[in-house]
Chain A
Amino acid sequence: MATFLLILHGICALLLIGAVSHQALGVFWPRRPGQTDFVANARGIRPQIYVVPIMILFVTTFVLGAAIYPVYRVYVRPPLEDLRVLYGIGLFEIKENFAAIVLASLPAYWYFWKRTSDYPTTRAALTAIVFVTVWYNFIAGHILNNLRGFG
């Protein structure tokens, strides 16, 4: 069951990566008029339409991660401690902490994207924070799973 949830967690994270990357490209590197190549098309989106999907995917990924966290704590972390693979534990600690803080920021992220057209700097900053966190967590999760998965 834990392995199934872990795979589901990874699939949701993959979808989330796509959504936050599109949104970040749309915010920080928007397509200019006349650009029609593949990369320009990836950038030529309306960032606000990704807000709700990002929130749903983030919460789903977070809940799945929280559900399998005890398995990590009991079966994965102790061997890493015994083997002194401390950087693996550190990568996970950063991941869990960033995820929790961004989760609490999601209502504000929604507010500045959907409820007001003011504060573009805030919108961009929150988008960047979500983008960096999701990418870091995705990579850290993969490294940790490669170090020692659930088996």
Chain B
Amino acid sequence: MNNSVIARAFPAFAIGFALFYAPAYSFTGGNSTFSWPLFTYFPSVGDYGEFHWLLVPGSDTLGPPMWWYGWIGSSIIAGLIVAAISLVLPEKATMKIWSTAVWVAPILAFIFLLDYEMFWFVPGWMPITSFLSGGGAG
């Protein structure tokens, strides 16, 4: 597979990443049933912290959890899956769609995330999609 073929999948990767990352951040909580982050990092443990696979909530022994690295990890996998799918679709028929979705998807993700993050600024804020799951912060 040459470089130009791989480059054709870049827009799809960005779309898959953004569309996974936004709900991953928004729906991750200590009691989430689905593990959105690929791993959890506990920076307070030892000199260099400690990694655990999948979602692990914070505790008195492990300290505060960091899920951000894990969300990026799982979003990369989601992006790669969408990128792989894009490569088996006909380029001429789909490039117009990818070229639009590649900037619409991040904007939608930003709006989705902002809706969830408003609770930091507005006490009692309820996100539009809060019925789907609890809020996240890590």
Chain A interface residues (CB < 8 Å from chain B): 66, 69-71, 73-74, 77-78, 86-87, 89-91, 93-94, 96-98, 100-105, 107-108, 110-112, 115, 118-119, 121-122, 125-126, 129
Q: When the two chains form the complex, which single residue of B18, B63, B100, B118 contacts A104, counting CB atoms closer than 8 Å?
A: B18
Known contacts being A96-B68, A122-B99, A122-B102, is A104 close to B76, with CB within 8 Å? yes
Which residues in B have their C-beta under 8 angstroms from that of A89? Answer: 120, 137
Task: Give a binary string over B1-39; 1 marks a CB under 8 Å from any A CB, 0 the rest.
Answer: 000100110110110011001100100000000000000
Among A69, A90, A129, max chain B CB count under 10 A is at: A90
Task: Give a binary string over B109-124; 1 marks a CB under 8 Å from any A CB, 0 the rest.
Answer: 1100110011111000
Which residues in B have their C-beta under 8 angstroms from that of A129? Answer: 103, 106-107
A108 touches B14 (CB 8 A): yes
B68 touches A74 (CB 8 A): no
Which residues in B have their C-beta under 8 angstroms from that of A126? Answer: 102-103
Complex alpha-carbon distance, A89 and B68, angstroms: 14
B4 touches A115 (CB 8 A): yes
Number of A-B contacts (CB under 8 A): 103
Closest-by-CB residue of B relative to A89 is B120
A11 to chain B, nearest CB (A): 23
Within 8 A of A (CB), among B64-116: 64, 66, 68-69, 71-72, 75-76, 79, 99-100, 102-103, 106-107, 109-110, 113-114
B49 touches A101 (CB 8 A): no
Which residues in B have their C-beta under 8 angstroms from that of A66? Answer: 69
Task: Give a binary string over B123-138; 1 marks a CB under 8 Å from any A CB, 0 the rest.
Answer: 0000000000000010
A93 touches B120 (CB 8 A): yes
B66 touches A73 (CB 8 A): yes
Which residues in B have their C-beta under 8 angstroms from that of A119? Answer: 99
| Those 9 A-B pairs whose CB atoms lie nearest each other, nearest first | A90-B120, A70-B43, A125-B103, A104-B17, A107-B10, A105-B14, A108-B10, A108-B14, A108-B11
A104 touches B66 (CB 8 A): no
B64 touches A105 (CB 8 A): no
Known contacts being A70-B49, A100-B75, is A107 close to B13, with CB within 8 Å? yes
Show 10 residue pairs from A and B whose CB-CB distance is below 8 angstroms, ordered by the A residue.
A70-B43, A70-B66, A73-B64, A97-B25, A101-B18, A101-B110, A105-B18, A108-B10, A108-B11, A122-B103
Known contacts being A90-B121, A93-B117, A107-B10, is A73 close to B102, with CB within 8 Å? no
A31 to chain B, nearest CB (A): 25
Known contacts being A101-B18, A129-B106, is A73 close to B120, with CB within 8 Å? no
Complex alpha-carbon distance, A87 and B76, angstroms: 29
B113 touches A97 (CB 8 A): yes
A87 touches B4 (CB 8 A): no
